[in-house]
Structure 1
Amino acid sequence: MRTMAAPDKILFNGKITTMDPDRPEATAVAVSGDRITAVGTDKDMLGFAGPETETIDLGGQRVIPGLIDSHTHIIRQGNNFAMELRWDHVPSLADGLRMLKAQAERTPAGQWIRVVGGWSVDQFAEKRLPTIDEINAVAPDVPVYVLHLYDRAWLNKAALRAIGIDKHFYEPFVSGRLERDDQGNPTGLAMARPNAQPLYALLDMAPKLDFEQQVTSTKHYFKALNGLGLTSALDCAGGFLNYPDDYGVITELNKRGEQTVRIGYQLFAQRPMFELDDFKRWNDIVKPDEGNNYLKCVGAGEMLVASAYDFEDFSYPRPDLPKRMEGDLRPVLEFLFENRWPIRFHCTYEESAHRLLSLIEEVGRDKGLEELNWIFDHGETISESTMEWVARLGGGISYQNRIAFQTTAYRDRYGEDALREVMPVKKMMASGVPLAAGTDATRVSSYNPWLAIHWAVSGKGRGGDVIWSAANRLDRHDALRHWTAAGAWFSREAGKKGQIKAGQWADIAVLDRDYFSIAEDEITEIEADLTLTGGKIVHAKARFAAHAPAPLPELPEWSPVPIFGAPGATAQRQGSLAAE
């Protein structure tokens, strides 16, 4: 005798890691509408099946809750995904240059080649960066922009011509510079010292996709994320992403019901010295928690004021926050707390944390700060006392794997002993502070969550260098928990997502290999064979290919993605470097 209505779907014969401490493992899950209705054994779940119930045999594969990226820049990246050539998993500089050459041969007039983040010199066999001469040689006629972490970008001669940069170009940058030769001609190398604003300003001068192309680009980016098992993200906006002007694409996808990744977004101040005006204007347009289960505003940040931003280019000395920081930040905090806006703020260094937390505690006292689920971002060098301070004030810490991309730079500046202690996640866990993981993709780190999980488990950087001793590494369950159940707190959705548990959203990923038993270095290769968001199948391949949703509209013919692929998006056309 059934005790509930027949579900829409039953997934059975799986190795299900639920992240629910009351039932940590199961073999089957029942789904109705957008919710999980029951979790248990094959026998019990199949007993609920009715004549219209779809049953899916998982074939013994590992199943986890859909992954949650607690710090990323998903909206901006969606608008640009179709235009970018990804070097995330490229093993050598020679391969990267061959990809540039091949893409140059198929890029039409008016378009650029962009390599924007997700790679590190550490991952290359040659252990060196490209030169501008090498980039010009493989792409003499097509504009090329290549960004490396927070420290530099290269624009080839064609790109400089396209945006009118010559010896007479006046550099309007807050910091950083264009390298010039003895005659004053820009060479094409742009340096951040330490503010990356010049690098991003130059990128912003490149052509953009039109609105419908951005819609298609974003849908393909979400599909790639679903292909990695990711179903939810907290968007931290970023420079040159203005609200509401640049949120039209994601708003349109949400209206159409075509959003396959849940997004909670924070608003990032865009105008130095006028940040309070920005937040007052936005407060008249939107309020925290306004939206729906797929798209909602969750607060302010990660930049609240420009003077409180400590840039994390580890190849450059630690910057001191300017003396005026407290005066700039105080009125912004007062306004946000009075209007019950949760905040998140970027903070890399212990020295910055003390000044920021002192002000937050002073302004937030008696304003219900501890009820806001506010977020401290990054924290590569913070101390145990700072972690406990964040916890005491009701905050949580979102950490990322940025150090895995900057291992050599950090070691060269601070030494081997400091490297062993950087990004102290184990100490954060011991402090009791709410803690979740993210990527900070895509201008530095890759958007591939499995690279971040591999770093947490192995303690290795992208070049295989050991960062953490064994005592500082996470076990696989804890690393996964920071990407699932723990992440729900950060968008104030605890109990709604992050676990495979009755009553929660049916956000589920079926992995192509068993995360808990494969070799450690194979973790970077994990993808999802089947992904559900809100009970809908949003990605399916391999044994589940018959369940795949309808194909998306094609990307532009010149897009690098179908040729070279990207994490979660396999190359689809012949002629890719991987196929040669």
Structure 2
Amino acid sequence: MLPLRLSSQNRRRTIPHFLALLTERISSVPGPVWIIRILEIARPDQAGTLITIFPHTERREEQAIGADVVIINGRVHTMDTNNNLASAVAIKDGKFVYVGAEGEELPLFIGEPRIIDVGGRLVFPGIIDSHNHIVLMGNRPGHHTPLENAYSVADVQETYEARARDLPVGEFVTTIGGFHINQFAENRLPTLQELDEAAPEHPVYISQSFFGPSITNTLGKAFFEAADPHSETGKALFALRELHGFEDRKRGVKDAMAYAASLGDNYEMHKPWLAVYDEGEGSVRLRINYLHFDDSLDLPSLEQRLKNSYKFFGNDMVRTGGIGEFISANQTGGPLFDEAARRIAQAGWRVEVHSLTSTDFKTEIEAFEAVNTEHSIQELRWVVAHVPLITDEYLERLKAIGGGVTLTGYLYLAGRGPKAGPPFRAILDSGIPVGMSSDGMQIAPMNPWVHAYYATTGKNALGELINEGQQITRQELLELYTSKNQWFLGGPDEKLLGAIEVGRLGDLIVLNDDYFFVEDEELKKLRSVLTIVGGNIVHSTGKLVMPSTVFVMVVVIREN
């Protein structure tokens, strides 16, 4: 094989000349057929045209691979069963069709694929967030602006200034939940004056949680003082929600998807969302769990759900999941909970409930055990989420009936030690099915790299060690967000997501820095520079992808 490279400045002028010269040269080389492959590499820092010449044989023709997108020069962690590494992958019709080991000669790709040289960066499968509230994030009133990545009041100001810059004058910029003042150097919210400086032409509303504390700016203050929200409590939020129509919610959905893609989240756990997918504009994969709060033993809404809905109904982009994280008005035990669990098991649905205290996981798992004696749940994959205080005994009891746990680093924001939990190390060592989630945009950040920081260091937003002895490795954490989270998907998704393998859905992320070697504090600053879902680029910082990327293949036949 003979590779040549043309400079980007002269490639338009010189490619025809090179083709003429190469055709002349090839005519003197033995062999009836040669192929000239021209790749315009999509790397702004090394823009150029790579010309590769090789003999064309029947065997090579048989091995040609059709592709829409080809990633080359990567450090690809496939997260398959053997944790194989690769340097190149190809995607066709939404699925991986080629995964090439480092040093392996690239096959012949046909079909004019887009070639992206990632310059040695890390490539992972798309992140699976197995328990979050991104649907509610899309329903936030105003232009919701996550503050989970701000570490000072100045960062908040910069975030709001950038957000307001592209919005119509007078429209609200908001943040509701998903952050805590502990992460700010000043350990306080911005003042009214500081928010005026950041967004002087836009009303602002920031609330640390659903119940405050909160802050506004001058324009926001005027709005709230003039509003008549018809409510005894929650006046500010109610007034904002009155302004939030269906089209606003659809826009919020797209914003939430775009933010998730920028973090590397490809999979998230309804009407505006379904409308966006129906219009072909969905950019992350959504699996919907159904919350139920029936407060009578006849469980009317749950009963209708089980009669009239289908498990795993939908397509690769949006699909039904299970029942939870609440299955009745009694959220962690009691007659309502027990009856709801019994009916769900009888119908054969997946269940997910949550545990936040030292007692609720006990009543939940005991209820699961009782149900299992009547209707087996061994194959249904019932889940208890969060579990900061779960014990070894109850882990074994849940494992014995086929259950699993999903973990989160939500205590990063305001947790206190020395054993805040979850007991990551003990849970992984127990052998129970376990995956990672965020519980994001309600009481926790959605950013998976913030959760990675907490799980691997045990430190909170103040830098205090609060989960001593329960840290896990970065490799283990990555597995929890990818290959080990397959178990929690169930249905057809289990064999399609969570790894980079031929036949799986073509989802991947390319990181801006080295996940395995950056300093601990830098983990929180990791982002995706390129996110691909089903072979489609849904997020790009512009560092890798150039609009002019082309792939040309010319077959030169020498006459004998």
2: CA distance, partners of 1:387 / 1:80: 36
- Measured after TM superposition, the shift of residue 330 of structure 1 is 2.1
CA contact (8 A) 2:67 2:111 kept: no
RMSD: 3.3
Partner of 2:485: 487
Q: 1:338 to 1:37 in 2, by over 3 A?
A: same
Q: 1:208 to 1:435 in 2, by over 3 A?
A: farther
Give, as a single letter, the amino acid of the residue that structure 2 aligns with 1:268: L
Bigger shift: 534-543 or 500-509? 534-543
Partner of 1:534: 534
Q: Alpha-carbon deviations, 1:40-65, whole Å to 9, x = none?
A: 23664621312533332221111110
**Which of the residues 350, 356, 365 maps onto 1:357?**
365
5+ residue gaps, structure 2 = 1-58, 550-560
Structure 1 residue runs of 4 or more that deviate by more than 6 Å after TM superposition:
97-110, 130-143
CA contact (8 A) 1:93 1:130 kept: yes
SS at match of 2:299: helix
**Which of the residues 259, 267, 274 maps onto 1:232?**
267
CA contact (8 A) 1:510 1:530 kept: yes
Computing the radius of gyration over CA atoms, which structure comes out larger, 1 or 2?
Answer: 2
5+ residue gaps, structure 1 = 172-197, 235-246, 310-324, 550-580
CA contact (8 A) 2:64 2:109 kept: no
CA contact (8 A) 2:497 2:505 kept: yes
- Measured after TM superposition, the shift of residue 82 of structure 1 is 6.0
Bigger shift: 264-273 or 435-444? 264-273
- Measured after TM superposition, the shift of residue 375 of structure 1 is 1.4
SS at match of 1:164: coil
Partner of 2:246: 211
- Measured after TM superposition, the shift of residue 124 of structure 1 is 1.8
Q: 1:10 to 1:143 in 2, by over 3 A?
A: closer
Partner of 2:81: 21
1:289 aligns with 2:353: no
2: CA distance, partners of 1:458 / 1:109: 43
| Alignment TM-score, normalising by the size of structure 1 | 0.75
Partner of 2:418: 417
1: CA distance, partners of 2:214 / 2:298: 31
- Measured after TM superposition, the shift of residue 489 of structure 1 is 1.2
- Measured after TM superposition, the shift of residue 371 of structure 1 is 0.9
SS at match of 1:370: coil
Q: 1:204 to 1:395 in 2, by over 3 A?
A: farther
**Which of the residues 116, 121, 125 maps onto 1:65?**
125
Bigger shift: 424-433 or 534-543? 534-543
| Alignment TM-score, normalising by the size of structure 2 | 0.77
Partner of 1:565: none
Partner of 1:442: 441
CA contact (8 A) 2:419 2:466 kept: no
Q: 1:34 to 1:82 in 2, by over 3 A?
A: farther
Q: Alpha-carbon deviations, 1:454-498, whole Å to 9, x = none?
A: 2112222122222233x4211111111111111111111322111
Q: 1:333 to 1:163 in 2, by over 3 A?
A: farther
CA contact (8 A) 2:228 2:239 kept: no
Q: 1:418 to 1:10 in 2, by over 3 A?
A: closer
What number of residue pairs does the alignment pair up?
483
**Which of the residues 153, 164, 175 maps onto 2:228?**
164
1: CA distance, partners of 2:413 / 2:373: 38
**Which of the residues 460, 474, 484 maps onto 1:476?**
474
2: CA distance, partners of 1:274 / 1:110: 48
Q: 1:231 to 1:208 in 2, by over 3 A?
A: farther
Q: Alpha-carbon deviations, 1:258-312, whole Å to 9, x = none?
A: 2111111101125544882111222344211111111111111101123225xxx
2: CA distance, partners of 1:202 / 1:275: 33
Identity of aligned residues (%): 25
SS at match of 2:67: coil
CA contact (8 A) 1:28 1:45 kept: no
**Which of the residues 102, 106, 110 maps onto 1:46?**
106
CA contact (8 A) 2:65 2:107 kept: no
- Measured after TM superposition, the shift of residue 140 of structure 1 is 12
Partner of 2:322: 299
2: CA distance, partners of 1:343 / 1:425: 22
Partner of 1:525: 525
2: CA distance, partners of 1:478 / 1:402: 18
CA contact (8 A) 1:150 1:444 kept: no
2: CA distance, partners of 1:527 / 1:548: 24
Alignment of 1:128-277 (within 5 A): 128=188, 145-149=205-209, 152-154=212-214, 158=222, 160-164=224-228, 170=232, 202-203=237-238, 206-234=241-269, 247-270=270-293, 272-273=295-296, 276-277=299-300
SS at match of 2:82: coil
Q: Alpha-carbon deviations, 1:506-554, whole Å to 9, x = none?
A: 11111111211222211111111221111222222333232599xxxxx
Q: 1:294 to 1:391 in 2, by over 3 A?
A: same
Alignment of 1:355-394 (within 5 A): 355-394=363-402
- Measured after TM superposition, the shift of residue 77 of structure 1 is 1.3
